[in-house]
Amino acid sequence: MGLLRKVSIKNKIVMVVLSVCALTIGLGFSLDFIYSINTIKKGIVNSTSMSAKLTGEYCITSLSFNYPDRAAEILAKLNAMPEILNGYVYDESSNLFASYNQEGENPVEIPVKKEAFHRFEGDYLHLWEPISFKGKHHGTIYLRALTQVTEKIINRFIIMFSLMLGLLMLSYIFAVTFQKIISGPILKLAQVSEQISSKGDYSFRAEKKSEDEVGVLYDEFNSMLDVIQSREEELENKNAELERFTYTVSHDLKSPLITIKGFLGLLEKEAAGGDVDQMKKDIFRISEAADKMQKLLDELLELSRIGRLINTPEELPFKELVDDAKRLVEGRLNEKNVRLEIEPDLPMVFGDRNRLCEILENLLDNSAKYMGEQSSPCIKVGSIPDGEELVFYVQDNGIGIDPEYHERVFTLFDKLDQSIEGTGAGLAIVKRIVEVHEGRIWVESDGEGKGSTFCFTIPDQRIKKIKEV
């Protein structure tokens, strides 16, 4: 079987078809040939037997009335058949009654039989037929004929064999032509995969043409390519995120560290000079810097945790979450004199309490931070149906976000306004939480000075599960 491994599919199919054809044709023809040998022999025996019976019948009265000369005369008529070499008539006591030997042929010694019998001896046929009249046995006639049985059989064989070869050749031609039906799609797929792997271009797709197992192969092949493509994209995104992450961490951690180191240097001098007041001030600055580093690291930890840990989801009134979040950002809201309006009749939501609260905390904080110069900064929180879904929103009348950056705001550490404090992780965290809850988040804003509305959905996982079942 190892020999066949390298053989192309094309040739494998042709080989299979040919071997099936060869087997069936060969078998069929062999059986026919064997049968025809029988038929040929039977034909010869029948015609010789006919001659024997007729001749024998003519000899009945010669036998009965004992006129061997007359019988010999009748036998001599066998001369008309050149294939009959000898003809003998025996009486009812199996004694030779009359004989005929063709010119040049010698008389033969043969056993006498009373019943019909025949035997082939190469091309010679020995035949015995009883002679009887009205049930009474009068004698036996024996004929020896030179048949062409061997020649006839060989001729038949040659004809059959040539026919068989012809049919096999025809099968070969048809097999080669029609194997394309099977091998074509397979070879095409192999070609496409070779192309894809050599060029590295995963956007190629193979065109399905049939609905059979090969069609399934095509479908699976294409969906695998889809998966590869999306994974590639995801991988690129993750890599980009990782790069930003690494950059930010090193960058954002560096500055407080520089601060710390700087102030430590100053401290050394102040300790030497005994300036305790200045030292206290500087120590505070160091502590501040350390706090900043800690905050950054905490947020990073938070982000990494979101994807993995999630508490038991429960049904919660949205209003409650808003109230909790409000408390957490109270400081900033008061600082900026932001009015918070909460829409009435807020629905229930199903999810992780802490995380959902975090969404609102971050959104409120963000909106407050990016109010800009506003006479009456206001944040509205509510919900609005959108088709089958329920969309929650946090709307502000702050500085707004240019449509160009609507996607970027959710990117980790990608702060649009570097002057405003914060790590730039807030919205990324929010997005993560929403995604973990299988929801969507986006921002609507007409641009600078026109305020922004952050919208998100938290679908009820329970309904989804029921629908799935």
The distance of closest approach from Cβ of residue 67 to other proteins in the complex, given in angstroms and rounded to an integer, is 6
CA pair distance 221, 31, nearest whole angstrom:
48
The distance of closest approach from Cβ of residue 161 to other proteins in the complex, given in angstroms and rounded to an integer, is 49
When the beta carbons of 138 and 292 are compared against other proteins, the nearer one is 138
When the beta carbons of 66 and 191 are compared against other proteins, the nearer one is 66
Single out the residue of 58, 128, 142, 392 in contact with other proteins (rule: CB under 8 A): 58
Residue window 1-40: x/- pattern of binding to other proteins, with contact defined by CB under 8 A? ----------------------------------------
The distance of closest approach from Cβ of residue 117 to other proteins in the complex, given in angstroms and rounded to an integer, is 24
By C-alpha distance, which of 358, 379, 383, 381 is closest to 369? 379
The distance of closest approach from Cβ of residue 73 to other proteins in the complex, given in angstroms and rounded to an integer, is 10
When the beta carbons of 52 and 296 are compared against other proteins, the nearer one is 52
- The C-alpha angle 136, 142, 147, rounded to 5 degrees, equals 140
- The C-alpha angle 235, 237, 240, rounded to 5 degrees, equals 110
When the beta carbons of 71 and 363 are compared against other proteins, the nearer one is 71
CA pair distance 185, 377, nearest whole angstrom:
66
Enter the tokens of residue 460: 């009820």
Contacts of 227 (CB under 8 A, 6+ apart): none
| Tokens 């500087």 -> residue | 282
Contacts of 440 (CB under 8 A, 6+ apart): 434, 456, 457
Q: By CB under 8 A, is residue 92 in contact with other proteins?
A: yes
Torsion angle, CA of 343/346/349/353, rounded to 10 degrees? 60
CA dihedral sign of residues 37, 43, 48, 50: positive
Single out the residue of 60, 214, 266, 436 in contact with other proteins (rule: CB under 8 A): 60
When the beta carbons of 136 and 464 are compared against other proteins, the nearer one is 136
Single out the residue of 39, 66, 197, 354 in contact with other proteins (rule: CB under 8 A): 66
Q: Rg of the chain's alpha carbons, rounded to an integer?
A: 54
CA dihedral sign of residues 85, 91, 94, 96: negative
When the beta carbons of 64 and 278 are compared against other proteins, the nearer one is 64
Phi then psi for residue 18, to 5 deg, are -60, -45
When the beta carbons of 136 and 254 are compared against other proteins, the nearer one is 136
When the beta carbons of 130 and 377 are compared against other proteins, the nearer one is 130
Q: By CB under 8 A, is residue 365 in contact with other proteins?
A: no
When the beta carbons of 95 and 203 are compared against other proteins, the nearer one is 95
Applying CB under 8 A, which part among 17-25, 90-98, 167-175, 291-299 lies near other proteins?
90-98
When the beta carbons of 95 and 375 are compared against other proteins, the nearer one is 95
How many residues sit in the footprint of other proteins (CB under 8 A)?
A: 16
CA pair distance 218, 222, nearest whole angstrom:
6
CA pair distance 9, 6, nearest whole angstrom:
9
CA pair distance 154, 160, nearest whole angstrom:
10
When the beta carbons of 99 and 383 are compared against other proteins, the nearer one is 99
Site for other proteins in 260-319 (CB under 8 A): none
Helix (H, G, I), strand (E, B) or coil at 431: helix
The distance of closest approach from Cβ of residue 46 to other proteins in the complex, given in angstroms and rounded to an integer, is 24
Phi then psi for residue 93, to 5 deg, are -100, 15
Q: By CB under 8 A, is residue 93 in contact with other proteins?
A: yes
Single out the residue of 91, 129, 358, 460 in contact with other proteins (rule: CB under 8 A): 91
Q: By CB under 8 A, is residue 57 in contact with other proteins?
A: yes
* Sheet of strand 452-457: strand arrangement: 339-342, 378-386, 389-396, 452-457, 441-444
Q: By CB under 8 A, is residue 241 in contact with other proteins?
A: no
The distance of closest approach from Cβ of residue 71 to other proteins in the complex, given in angstroms and rounded to an integer, is 10
Q: Taking a C-beta distance cutoff of 8 angstroms, is the pair 445, 403 a contact?
A: yes
Identity at 206, one-letter amino acid code = A
Single out the residue of 11, 36, 64, 222 in contact with other proteins (rule: CB under 8 A): 64
Site for other proteins in 99-138 (CB under 8 A): 133-134, 136
Interface contacts to other proteins, rule CB under 8 A: 57-58, 60-62, 64-67, 70, 91-93, 133-134, 136
